[in-house]
C-alpha cells in the first residue's frame, strides 16, 4: 500500500505544481491581454464623456469612484466635473484568426447597495426606522429590515442613499470561433 501511495502522491504533487505554474502564467497573460485591450480601445474608440454635479465639500475623486464606477475623473472646475469612460471597464471581443479562438473581456456590475454610514449621519431617524436590532455572537447590531415591510415614503427617502455596485472585469474562457466569425475581418 505504501508504494501505491508513493506513486499516487508523486502524481498528485506533479499535477499540483503544474496547476500552480499554469495559474501564474494565466494571470500574467490575462494582465497583458487586458493592457493591450485598453491600448486598442484608446486608439480606436472615442470614449464617452459627461459633466456631473458633485455636492459641495466632498472629495471629488472619491465621489466619482463611488457613484460612477467605470468612469474616470478628467477635470473639475467650479463645481463642474468632467468624467470619461474608463477603458479598462469596457467589454471587448477579439477573434484570433491564427488560432481560431474568440477571446472576450467581460465586465459586470453588482447591484446597488445602501450607503449605511452616510444615511446614519444625514438622516438618523430614517436609519432607525428602516433597521432593526439583531443579536450576533457577543454583540447586538442593526440590520436592514425586509424592504417589502417598509412604507413607501421610507423607500422613497432611501433612494438617495443607494450607491452603484462595484464593477468586475474577467476573462471569459476562450472558445472556438464560429465559421462566420472567422469570415469577418
pLDDT tens, position by position, for the chain (185 residues)? Answer: 678 898 999 999 999 999 999 999 999 999 999 999 999 999 999 999 999 988 888 889 998 999 999 999 999 887 789 999 999 999 999 999 999 999 999 999 999 999 888 889 999 999 999 988 888 888 888 888 888 999 999 999 999 899 999 999 999 999 999 988 888 76
DSSP assigned state of 34:
H
**What are residue 166's phi and psi, to 5 degrees?**
-70, 155
pTM beyond 0.85, yes or no: no
Q: Within a 10 A sphere around the Cβ of 87, how many other Cβ atoms?
A: 19
Contact 83, 75 (CB under 8 A): no
First-to-final CA distance of the chain? 59
- DSSP letters spanning 114-148: E-HHHHHHH-HHHHHHHEEEEEETTEEEEEEPPGG
Classify residue 100 as left (phi > 0), alpha (psi -120 to 50) or beta.
left
Q: What is the pLDDT of residue 185?
A: 60
Q: What is the pLDDT of residue 45?
A: 94
DSSP assigned state of 87:
G
Say how far apart CA 74 and CA 23 lie, in whole Å.
36
Say how far apart CA 64 and CA 83 lie, in whole Å.
8
Say how far apart CA 82 and CA 47 lie, in whole Å.
12
Distances (CA, A) of 142 to 155, 156, 157: 18, 20, 19
Amino acid at each position: 500500500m505504501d508504494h501505491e501511495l508513493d506513486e499516487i502522491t508523486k502524481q498528485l504533487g506533479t499535477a499540483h505544481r503544474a496547476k500552480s505554474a499554469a495559474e501564474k502564467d494565466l494571470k500574467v497573460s490575462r494582465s497583458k491581454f487586458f493592457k493591450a485591450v485598453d491600448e486598442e480601445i484608446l486608439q480606436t474608440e472615442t470614449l464617452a464623456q459627461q459633466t456631473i454635479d458633485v455636492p459641495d465639500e466632498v472629495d471629488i475623486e472619491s465621489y466619482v469612484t463611488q457613484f460612477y464606477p467605470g468612469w474616470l475623473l478628467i477635470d473639475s472646475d467650479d463645481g463642474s466635473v468632467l468624467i470619461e469612460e474608463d477603458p479598462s471597464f469596457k467589454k471587448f471581443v477579439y477573434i484570433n484568426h491564427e488560432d481560431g479562438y474568440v477571446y472576450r473581456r467581460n465586465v459586470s456590475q453588482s447591484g446597488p447597495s445602501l450607503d449605511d454610514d452616510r444615511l446614519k449621519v444625514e438622516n438618523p431617524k430614517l436609519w432607525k426606522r428602516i433597521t432593526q436590532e439583531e443579536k450576533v455572537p457577543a454583540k447586538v447590531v442593526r440590520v436592514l429590515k425586509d424592504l417589502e415591510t417598509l412604507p413607501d415614503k421610507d423607500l422613497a427617502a432611501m433612494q438617495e442613499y443607494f450607491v452603484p455596485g462595484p464593477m468586475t472585469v474577467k476573462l471569459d474562457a476562450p472558445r472556438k470561433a464560429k465559421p462566420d466569425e472567422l469570415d469577418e475581418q
